[in-house]
Amino acid sequence: MAATKTVRTKDRSIVFENHLDSTFEYWRRFGGVPPLKGKRVLDFGCGTGGMVQRLIDNGAAEVVGVDISEYAVAYGAERLAPYGDRVKMYAADIRTLDVGSFDVIVSQNTLEHVMPLGEVTRAVADRAKPGADMYFGFSPLWYSPFGHHGYPITRLPWHHLIFGDKAVLDAMEATSGKRYADAFDAGFNKATPDDFEAMFKTLPADIVSLRRNIVTGGWKQTVASIFGPIADLPPFRKYMTVSMYAHLRKR
Ligand SMILES: C[S@@+](CC[C@H](N)C(=O)[O-])C[C@H]1O[C@@H](n2cnc3c(N)ncnc32)[C@H](O)[C@@H]1O
């Protein structure tokens, strides 16, 4: 979602409903929902669990949601309790969590926050069964026009690069009351498209597809078709890659 449309809310039921809606676009960008019937699925960075519900509704036998936010996971566990044993939600570090292995791994809008990126994504991939499909779709990347994730809500592209981390930290403090030391402390890993691509190549997986700036219709499609060729040029790639969609298959 474009940062200019971001509405900051702490209401987890609204966050959940928004997440539920956003899953349609997520899967559209991967070309559709993969076969899930009877599969054991991990949602890495599950937040309040909108995707977890969608995966169950799409036929998964069991879905495990993992996120480091106790606040988000607590809501998801309660909200998804009616699914019984088919849903398990963990507020935990995937590197030390014993959750078995998975037929499918999904991760939405999370990898731009994960630190240390290589170590954590390796732990995620280690939990995929041989031949398992992994879908990592995430935005907005830090150096993209609204990589500040709506802190502050502004129409000025690259506001955070022009005014620096302090502008982001000030906006976050105004919203949450919490002061972070720097952008890393606030949960932004600042990885570039090249960093992500290099990381994916280190995983024990084949890259089925790795696409950037995927949009499926509307005005964004028009913008993407105009700026797409420029965004591909090495000097602009870092600043104009908003999203990445990686489909990997575990070796
Ligand atoms: C922007 S939210 C996305 C949540 C949800 N996937 C969605 O699309 O709405 C990013 C999530 O990544 C989680 N996260 C960040 N680092 C993580 C890590 N190392 N392990 C698990 N979750 C992490 C955050 O707690 C947060 O819930």
Q: Please return the burial class of 175, using the count of CB atoms within 10 Å of its CB with bins 0-12, 13-18 and 19+.
A: middle
Structural domains of the chain, ranges and CATH numbers in brackets: 9-147+188-250 (3.40.50.150), 152-186 (no CATH)
Each residue's pLDDT tens digit, 36-63: 999 999 999 999 999 999 999 999 999 9
Place 9 in a pLDDT band, splitting at 50, 70 and 90: low
The tokens describing 229, both together, are: 């060729």
- Closest residue by Cα to residue 158 from 173, 139, 174, 142: 142
Cα(229) to ligand 1 centroid in Å equals 31
Cα(187) to ligand 1 centroid in Å equals 9
Q: 141 in helix, strand or coil?
A: coil
List ligand 1's pocket residues with C-beta within 6 A: 19, 45-47, 51, 66-69, 72, 94, 108-110, 113-114, 120
Query: What pTM does this model have?
Result: 0.94
Cα(43) to ligand 1 centroid in Å equals 10
Q: What is the pLDDT of residue 91?
A: 98
- 71 near 48, Cβ under 8 Å? no
Task: Say if residue 215's pLDDT is above 80.
Answer: no
Helix (H) or strand (E) holding 63: strand 62-67
Each residue's pLDDT tens digit, 96-138: 999 999 999 999 999 999 999 999 999 999 999 999 999 999 9
Q: 199 in helix, strand or coil?
A: helix
Task: Say if residue 74's pLDDT is above 60.
Answer: yes
Give the bridge partners for 227, in sequence order.
none
